[in-house]
């Protein structure tokens, strides 16, 4: 089953939108695998956002992500990466489709509420970076057969 890392970033936590994010992913049918509420250190932030190093927004991005606690989660399901990114909406909130989290709750790219892995491979790498193996819970739901075709 495909897995993806999801972060409710500091703005989402401060604005009491953790429950809203979780509710939307649950309602979509995705299955929660792991969750931890944490203060992110600079080293983890820099490793997580290494691909953006050197870009004009990089320093602001790092200080934003370490400025207050985040809710880090792993979610799984068929096409979990695409499904979660669709539920989040485009990076720039003013380009995000109506009904997406970033459309409904955000205005600025530097305060866009959530992070979600952008490919299954990056998802696996990001999950390894943020979670220990024993923090990932393998489980089944009674409803799985009504949400997952196989
Ligand atoms: P996403 O978070 O949708 O995967 P990304 O990986 O391209 O987007 O960028 C990571 C974060 O960096 C993004 O959520 C917000 C910030 N960011 C991206 N592009 C930006 C820009 N042009 N100006 C300011 N911040 C930006
Ligand atoms: Mg990204």
Amino acid 4: pLDDT: 98
Q: Which CATH number do you get for residue 111?
A: 3.30.70.141
Ligand 1 site, residue 50, Cβ cutoff 6 A = no
For residue 124, being part of any structural domain is answered with: yes
Residue 116 has what pLDDT? 98
Q: Which ligand is nearest to the CA of 7?
A: 1
Does a structural domain hold residue 56? no
In the chain the beta strands, taken as DSSP E runs, fall at 3-8, 31-38, 70-76, 114-116
CA angle 42–48–54, rounded 5-degree value = 80
Task: Judge whether 106 lies within some domain.
Answer: yes
User: 149 in a domain, yes or no?
Assistant: no
Interatomic CA distance for residues 28 and 106, integer angstroms: 20
All residue ranges of the chain with pLDDT < 50 are none
pLDDT score at 62: 98
How many structural domains are present in the chain?
A: 1
Ligand at minimal distance from the CA of 112 is 1
* 18, part of any domain: yes
pLDDT value at residue 131? 98
Q: Is the CB of 48 under 6 A from ligand 1?
A: no
Domain boundaries, position 114: 2-38+70-138
Ligand 2 center from residue 86 Cα (angstroms): 13
CB 2 within 8 A of CB 76: yes
115 carries an active-site annotation:
yes
């Amino acid at each position: 089953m495909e897995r993806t890392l999801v972060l409710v970033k500091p703005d989402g936590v401060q604005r009491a939108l953790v429950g809203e994010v979780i509710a939307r992913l649950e309602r979509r049918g995705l299955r929660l695998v792991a969750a931890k509420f944490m203060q992110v250190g600079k080293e983890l932030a820099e490793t997580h956002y290494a691909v953006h190093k050197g870009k004009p927004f990089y320093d602001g991005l790092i200080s934003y992500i370490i400025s207050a606690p985040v809710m880090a989660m792993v979610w799984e399901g068929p096409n979990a990466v695409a499904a979660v990114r669709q539920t989040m909406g485009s990076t720039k909130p003013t380009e995000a489709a109506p009904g997406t989290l970033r459309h409904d709750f955000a205005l600025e790219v530097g305060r866009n509420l959530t992070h979600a892995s952008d490919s299954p491979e990056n998802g696996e790498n990001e999950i390894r970076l943020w979670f220990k193996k024993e923090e990932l819970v393998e489980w089944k739901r009674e409803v799985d057969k009504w949400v997952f075709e196989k």
